[in-house]
Each structure stands twice: as structure tokens, then as C-alpha cells.
Amino acid sequence: MANQTDSFHLFNELSEHVTLRIASCSALYHPPHWSESKQHPDYDLWIVLAGTVNLRMGGVSGSAKPGDLILFYPNVPYSASTGEDGCRFLYVHFDFGIGDRSRILDDFSLSGIVPGAFVSEEAALFRRAFERYRNRSAVSSVRLKGCLTLLLSRIIEHAAESGASGFDPSPSTALPKKGTVRHMDALQPVFGYLHEHLQRPIAIRELAELIGMSEKYFITYFKNTVGVTPGYYLYQVRMNRARDYLYLEQYSIKQIAELLGYPDPYTFSKAFKKYYNRPPSRFV
């Protein structure tokens, strides 16, 4: 049976198709009693360095203290302010997608205040990378992107570990999550079913029927939501598992073909070579 965390497997299965583009990154100081009301056209992540940032979003208020992070989704209005001490934070504007699906994070409950205790190590790495980036050190842009990837990965990881319900901060820091309707929700049964039945051939038609869609509409819906077609996703998952089985060095090629629903070793080997550019017999 599918559960809410099934869709988080996307980040593992399709990791090679993840795209991350940083638009801008800088540090800001705001004086006492600063305030702003706006929304951003892309993802925005703040790392609070000093002072307290008071937020209001969707009628709910919260406060972020030094060490905390705030993740904003695109086009979500908010109000932010500070008290008598002012505030200082790093910010980074970015876009994050998988395959042809840009802004895939919108389908996950991640936005709002992220307690610093959950991401302290990754946030520290990002702050150090930012200092190198600000000083224009060699390869600093690549380092900054890598550290942002780690930081976002930790945020996603914690949401998955906590049951796909996002962060569970105290009421004083809680902020609403982006959106109430997510296209990914409809695909939960598909992800669960697919992973449970890899050992046999799976027709796209049966996946569509699982959630009450026509095959044609399902293919379009899946690609628009996940970023790749359902057929490619199934292929990618099987190639990931094939790689893992080969590294174990416990299974023959014939056994791996059977475990992954291929009719014979030849068909499996052909699919494997197409993906990895070498046959499974020469992979390890």
C-alpha cells in the first residue's frame, strides 16, 4: 500500500535529473523596526544570522531566530519585520526542478520556518561557502551550489523522515505550507505499486487504471508532475536497482533480469547497456 512518503523516492531515483540554478545570493542587514510585504518570483531561502525575523503568512505568525532558516515558495505573499535589534540574514534565490518539471518542491510540504537544530551542519557549510563566494575564490560558485544542494537535501530528508508532513515546529514558529492541492498526491498509489511490482512487467495502462485515468491523460499528468514520462521513470528505477544488485555481487545476470521483470537476460542486458554504455557483465 502506498504512503505519503512514496513520492520522496523521486529525489533518489531521479537524482541525475535534478537541476538547481542560483539566481542570487547575498547577506542583508535590516535596521530596527524594518518591515516588508512582498512575494518572490522564485524560491527564496533565508538563514538568520542575528536578531529575530517576525513573519506573517496566510494569516499565521511566526518568529525565526539566529540559526533558523526560512523557505519561501514562489508567488506566496508574506510580511516580515524585526524589532529593536534589527536583523541580519543570508538569502539565496534559486530554482529547483527534476527533468522537465521546474519548481517540483511546490508539491512537497517544505516551506516555512526550518528550526536550525535540524540543519545546523549543512547551514554552517553553506555559510562558509558563501564567504568564499563573496571573496570570489576559485570555484566558489560551484562550492556554493554544492552546499545549497546539501542544505536543501537535508530539509527534504527531514520532511521525509517526519512522515511527509513537513516540519513540526512549535505553534509560535509555525507558518502555513505552500498550497493545499498537490498534483503529486494523486500519484502516491502509483509510486507504491510500481516499487512493489518491479519483479514483473508493468504496463502503463495498469498504472493509469490504478488512479482512474485514461492512459493518454495519465502519461501527460505524470510527465507534467514528475518531469519524466512514467515509462522512463520505470526504466530509471530498474536501472538503479540493477546497478545496486550488481554491486552486491550476489546475483547472476539471469537472476537480476528476473528480479526486475525482464523476460530474459538478453533483453535486460540490452536495456542496461543502453543506459550505462556497457553490458552488466562488465559493469563491476
Q: What is the pLDDT of residues 119-177, one digit of tens each?
A: 999 999 999 999 999 999 999 999 999 999 999 999 999 999 886 443 433 333 444 44
**Burial class of 241 by CB neighbour count within 10 A (0 to 12, 13 to 18, 19+):** middle
pLDDT, residue 4, reads 53
pLDDT digits (tens, 9 = 90+) for 200-215: 999 999 999 999 999 9
Instruction: Indicate yes or no: pTM above 0.85.
Output: yes
pLDDT digits (tens, 9 = 90+) for 162-196: 864 434 333 334 444 444 447 898 999 999 999 99
**How far, in Å, are 24, 43, 58, 86, 262 from residue 112 at the CA level?**
20, 12, 11, 20, 44
Question: How many CA atoms are closer than 13 Å to the CA of 140, on its beta-carbon side?
Answer: 13
63, β-bridge pairs: 54
Beta pairing, strands 87-98 & 101-102? antiparallel
Nearest to 120 by CA among 46, 14, 196, 47: 47
Task: Evaluate if residue 2 carries a pLDDT over 90.
Answer: no
Q: Is 33 helix (H, G, I), strand (E, B) or coil?
A: coil
State the chain's mean pLDDT as an integer: 91
Task: Evaluate if residue 23 carries a pLDDT over 60.
Answer: yes
Q: Which domains does the chain have, with CATH numbers?
A: 17-161 (2.60.120.10), 183-282 (1.10.10.60)
**Burial class of 129 by CB neighbour count within 10 A (0 to 12, 13 to 18, 19+):** buried
pLDDT, residue 109, reads 86
Which has the higher per-residue pLDDT, 85 or 170? 85
Grid coordinates in use for 230? 512514467
Q: Between the CA atoms of 90, 139, 120 and 101, what dihedral angle is there, to the nearest 10 degrees?
A: 80
Q: Are 80 and 140 in contact (CB under 8 A)?
A: no
Which 8-state DSSP code applies to residue 121? H
